[in-house]
């Protein structure tokens, strides 16, 4: 009897094994067999993601997910989303987490604050890009990817490389530059660093998502040329140099079509032209029509809604999605799952080396800060200088922006802590007054509608004349911090944000007068995420350090630069204009509502239908200022050092361009007194035959290693035919005009040190591409 029960059990066990083994298993069976074995419901489950939880959201804000999804236990609480597992076929769930400045997960699980899950806040994207140092950014990527791996993440929703078209873009801090060559190369470095850990990235937001205003329903009217030369170009460079595992389509429409529903964008350009091999996911709740998204090549819908599941099942049934299309979407996702840590059963520790990553964060922060002004070499400061520390963010440093680009970090080193750790005597009474004031203001300030959004700033404390007199008498230096915070869900505004508030202006002016009257110097630290006004106040400062939003180690990193422990080597990746009105998109930013009189209360998360026209065309950033002779306050590519560099003659590999890449070589020497690194920029001025062209465009850049005084480094840059070419819309081609080209190599877009010329004897076709993404409205584009 016993034997026969055992026999039955054994049989059942065996038969279930046999049954399990008959279903193909991911990684063991050929992929087409796994896909073939999937039911339509399973395929749709894989496509429609899951797992986003926002605690403080009022009910009804977000469309409901598939029933039962909220019962599936979270693997990594606070991650942005994940995929459905299909255990029958050996398909695990993969976890996706924000965001550009660090792993974004909940720090506390089940109320247990004794065992937190903090993540490293690295400096924001703009700061990383301002280092112009691809090796450094790769190192940041390596640390960031390792942290993701250690926390059980499969794909990081990073980097974000939309162009900084206008200083007011609410997410500019996450982005890299107004220039696509900088953005694309820096992104490739980050992606290669992260993916070296066998963790994926998601290059976002594809494409032309350059503002937050009604972002989910914003129709961007933009010319094919501006798209090709600017808004797509950074993505193209990054895809070709780094093959991110995934790409995230953007919220907006481009020329009347949602990017997530655009086959020309996601298939013709991204895959056919650029060779992208991974899968495309939507931005969270992005786009409208799941069927159109699948057919366009947007393989995954994040974070997944029940309505999408139903629409896809109906689409398959009615045949508007073909089985072949569905299989293609599913195959692309599975190909990435096969690479994932989850598939490999990676035994993650939940104990990343936060100390090591903090060191990476600190080093990167110091490398990306930009010294804008240094009159009479007031910086670096001798350590005995007595410091009066003014400004709220000296005490409450802004490590990064808000929204999905935020990080739940264990701490932020304030400037006060940084200066104290560097052994500067800091005026304790003044610091105390500020700290008491800030704490009181925080108690009273109103909360943002959602924790996700930026809280209102704390007004600067009025500084009485007597206080200033006393502080100027008892200290040697005034260090004044100006802070700005922005983030997802809103753009910035001109008054009191792009410009200084009246209180900030007044304080700075009074500090400057009082300290200068006593022969003492004033240093301004800009703790900001995006371009802002400098012209109305920069004369009040002897030195200005643009510290950006430098991550959790910010206070130490600023002190490193201020003391000269690190010689600043960052340069601007966006122009600081003299006036906001000088910005070429000032007139059209952020666009307008399509139905301004419709006051129906919409869901604030989903926004309302709106549009924007990119009338400045290709004349964005320095391309505009340089071509139209508009003087900038600080130009693109600008940044000072504590040393000087001399540039030797540039040698080209030929005087005629014959279609094969040309090289430009020169030697840079540290001609000053302290070790330093130099960012060297190569611009090209091309002949304008078939169409108007910017006066010059950045084509390549490099950063020297740390050069001791007197030491040199020889740098070589390469120019390909595509670097010479502009986009010709009528011919859907990149074409290089015949004529003389000038190579300009310099320390900024204005500070050109060496030039050389070559000739292209005959017009040359660089690349023929698809005709795609044409504007549906007449655009009145700017031309010189």
The set of catalytic residues is 283
Q: Measured from the CB atom, is 133 or 283 closer to ligand BGC? A: 283
DSSP state at residue 707? B
Asked whether the beta carbons of 699 and 719 are under 8 A apart, the reply is yes
Closest separation in Å from C-beta 157 to ligand BGC:
4
Structure tokens belonging to residue 768: 């023929």
Q: Across the chain, which distance is largest between two alpha carbons, in Å?
A: 104
Q: How is residue 463 annotated by DSSP? A: -
Query: Cα–Cα distance between 522 and 524 in angstroms, integer?
Result: 7
For the bound state, the minimum distance from the C-beta of residue 81 to ligand BGC, rounded and expressed in Å, comes to: 7
Strands 477-483 and 387-390: parallel
Place of tokens 């190579």: 743
H or E segment and range at residue 613: strand 610-613
Closer residue to ligand BGC in complex, CB, 204/228: 204
For residue 402, the minimal CB distance to ligand BGC (Å) is: 12
Distance CA 334, CA 47 (A): 10
What pairs with residue 206 in β-bridges? 249
Backbone angles phi, psi at 179, to 5 degrees: -120, 135
Asked if 297 and 281 count as a contact pair (C-beta separation under 8 A), the reply is no
How big is the CA angle at 460 (ends 458 and 464), to the nearest 5 degrees? 150
Please, what is the minimum distance in Å from the beta carbon of residue 360 to ligand BGC? 22
C-beta closer to ligand BGC: residue 80 or 534: 80
Rounded-to-5 percentages of helix, strand, coil across the chain: 35, 20, 50
State the minimum distance, in angstroms, from the CB of residue 172 to ligand BGC. Answer: 13
- The Cα 466–Cα 469 span in angstroms is 5
Query: What does the alpha-carbon distance between residue 271 and residue 297 come to, in Å, rounded to a whole number?
Result: 9
**CA 558 to chain CA mean position, Å:** 21
Q: Is 212 exposed, middle or buried (0-12, 13-18, 19+ CB in 10 A)?
A: buried
Residue 231 or 537 having the CB closest to ligand BGC: 231
How far apart, in whole angstroms, are the C-alpha atoms of residue 412 and residue 362?
11
Nearer to ligand BGC, 95 or 618 (CB): 95
97 or 627: CB nearest ligand BGC:
97
CB nearer ligand BGC, residue 368 or residue 607 = 607
Q: Which is nearer to ligand BGC, 259 or 696 (CB)?
A: 259
Q: Which residues of 402-429 are buried (b: 16+ CB within 10 A; e: fewer)?
A: bbbbbbbbeebbbbbbbbbebebebbee
- Pick the closer one to ligand BGC by CB: 283 or 678: 283
Q: Give me the count of residues in the chain.
A: 784
**Considering only CA atoms, which of 55, 162, 32, 47 is closest in space to residue 106?**
55
Q: Where are the beta strands (DSSP E) in 147-276?
A: 155-156, 200-206, 218-221, 246-249, 253-254, 257-258
Calculate ∠ Cα 88-89-90, nearest 5°.
Answer: 100
Q: How far is the CB of 256 from ligand BGC (least distance, A)?
A: 21
* 207 in Cβ contact with 239 (< 8 Å): no
CB closer to ligand BGC, 262 vs 754: 262
DSSP state letter for 498: I
Rounded Cα gap, residues 90 and 344, in angstroms: 11
Sign of CA dihedral 254, 322, 333, 303: positive
* Smaller CB separation from ligand BGC, 35 or 281: 281
DSSP tag of 402: B
Three-state SS for 130? helix
Q: Which is nearer to ligand BGC, 160 or 719 (CB)?
A: 160
For the four alpha carbons of 553, 554, 559 and 561, in that order, the dihedral sign comes to: positive
What are the beta bridge partners of residue 506? none
Our CB check for ligand BGC shows the closer of 201 and 404 to be 404
Would you say 701 and 179 are in contact if contact means Cβ atoms under 8 Å apart?
Answer: no
Closest-CA residue to 242 (of 146, 158, 340, 302): 158
Closest distance between ligand BGC and the C-beta of residue 134, in Å? 23
* Residue 454 in tokens: 């930026």
The first and second tokens of residue 197, run together, are 């850990």
Residues of this chain that interact with ligand BGC (CB under 6 A) are: 80, 98-99, 157, 204, 283-284, 404, 488
Judge whether 321 and 315 are in contact, CB under 8 Å.
yes
Alpha-carbon distance of 714 to 719, in angstroms, equals: 17
CB of 640 to ligand BGC, least distance (A): 33
Distance CA 614, CA 427 (A): 49
Residues facing 281 on adjacent strands: 248, 300
SS3 annotation, 550-566: CCCCHHHHHHHHHHCCC
CB of 203 to ligand BGC, least distance (A): 11
């Amino acid at each position: 009897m016993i034997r026969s029960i055992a026999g039955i059990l054994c049989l059942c066990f065996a038969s279930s094994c046999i049954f399990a083994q008959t279903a193909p298993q991911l990684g063991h069976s050929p992929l087409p067999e796994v896909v073939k074995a999937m039911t339509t419901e399973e395929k749709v489950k894989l496509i429609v993601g899951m797992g986003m939880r926002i605690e403080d959201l009022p009910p009804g804000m977000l469309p409901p997910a598939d029933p039962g999804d909220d019962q599936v236990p979270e693997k990594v609480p606070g991650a942005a989303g994940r995929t459905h597992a299909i255990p029958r076929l050996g398909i695990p769930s993969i976890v996706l987490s924000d965001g550009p400045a660090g792993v974004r997960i909940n720090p506390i699980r089940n109320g247990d604050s004794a065992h937190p899950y903090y993540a490293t806040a690295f400096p924001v994207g703009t700061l990383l890009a301002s280092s112009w140092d691809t090796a450094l950014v790769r190192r940041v990527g390596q640390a960031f990817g390792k942290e993701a791996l250690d926390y059980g993440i499969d794909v990081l929703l990073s980097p974000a490389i939309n162009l900084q078209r206008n200083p007011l873009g609410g997410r500019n801090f996450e982005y890299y530059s107004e220039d696509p060559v900088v953005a694309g190369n820096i992104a490739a470095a980050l992606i290669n660093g992260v993916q070296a850990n066998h963790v994926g990235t998601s290059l976002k937001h594809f494409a032309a998502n350059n503002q937050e205003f009604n972002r989910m329903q914003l129709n961007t009217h933009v010319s094919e040329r501006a798209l090709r030369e600017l808004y797509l170009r950074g993505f193209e460079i990054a895809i070709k140099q780094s093959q991110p595992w995934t790409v995230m389509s953007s919220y907006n429409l481009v020329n009347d079509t949602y990017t997530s529903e655009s086959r020309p964008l996601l298939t013709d350009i991204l895959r056919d032209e650029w060779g992208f091999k991974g899968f495309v996911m939507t931005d969270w709740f992005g786009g409208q029509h799941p069927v159109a998204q699948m057919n366009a090549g947007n393989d995954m819908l994040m974070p997944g809604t029940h309505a999408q599941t139903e629409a896809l099942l109906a689409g398959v049934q009615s045949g508007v999605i073909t089985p072949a299309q569905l299989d293609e979407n599913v195959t692309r996702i599975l190909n990435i799952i096969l690479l994932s840590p989850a598939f490999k059963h990676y035994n993650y520790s939940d104990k990343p080396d936060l100390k090591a990553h903090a060191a990476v964060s600190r080093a990167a922060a110091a490398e990306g800060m930009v010294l804008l002004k240094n009159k009479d070499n007031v910086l670096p400061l001798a350590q005995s200088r007595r410091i009066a520390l003014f400004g709220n963010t000296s005490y409450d440093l802004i490590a990064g922006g808000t929204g999905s680009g935020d990080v739940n970090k264990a701490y932020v080193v304030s400037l006060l802590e940084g200066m104290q750790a560097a052994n500067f005597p800091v005026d304790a009474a003044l610091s105390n007054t500020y700290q008491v004031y800030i704490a009181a203001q925080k108690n009273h300030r109103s909360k943002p509608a959602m924790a996700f959004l930026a809280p209102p700033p704390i007004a600067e404390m009025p500084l009485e004349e007597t206080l200033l007199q006393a502080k100027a008498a008892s200290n040697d230096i005034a260090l004044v911090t100006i802070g700005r915070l922005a983030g997802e869900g809103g753009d910035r505004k001109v008054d009191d944000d792009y410009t200084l508030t009246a209180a900030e202006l007044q304080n700075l002016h009074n500090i400057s007068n009082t300290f200068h009257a006593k022969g003492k110097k004033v240093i301004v630290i800009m703790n900001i995420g995006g371009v802002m006004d400098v012209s109305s106040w920069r004369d009040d400062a002897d030195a200005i350090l643009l510290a950006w939003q430098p991550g959790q180690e910010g206070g130490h990193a600023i002190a490193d630069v201020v003391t000269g422990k690190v010689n600043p080597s960052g340069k601007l990746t966006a122009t600081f204009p003299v006036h906001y009105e000088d910005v070429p998109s000032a007139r059209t930013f952020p666009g307008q509502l399509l139905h301004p009189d419709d006051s129906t209360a919409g869901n604030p998360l989903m926004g309302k239908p709106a549009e924007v026209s990119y009338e400045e065309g290709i004349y964005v950033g320095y391309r505009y200022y340089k071509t139209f002779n508009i003087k900038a306050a600080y130009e693109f590519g600008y940044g000072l050092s504590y040393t000087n560099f001399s540039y030797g003659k540039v040698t080209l590999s030929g005087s005629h361009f014959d279609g094969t890449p040309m090289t430009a070589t020169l030697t840079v020497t540290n001609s000053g007194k302290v070790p330093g690194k130099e960012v060297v920029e190569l611009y090209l001025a091309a002949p304008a035959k078939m169409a108007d062209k910017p006066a010059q465009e950045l084509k390549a850049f490099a950063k020297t290693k740390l050069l001791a005084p007197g030491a040199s480094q020889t740098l070589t840059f390469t120019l390909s035919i595509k670097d010479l070419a502009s986009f010709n819309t009528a011919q859907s081609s990149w074409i290089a005009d015949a004529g003389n080209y000038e190579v300009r190599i310099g320390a900024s877009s204005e500070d050109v040190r060496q030039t050389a010329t070559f000739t292209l004897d005959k017009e040359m076709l660089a690349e023929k591409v698809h005709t795609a993404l044409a504007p549906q409205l007449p655009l009145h584009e700017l031309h010189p």
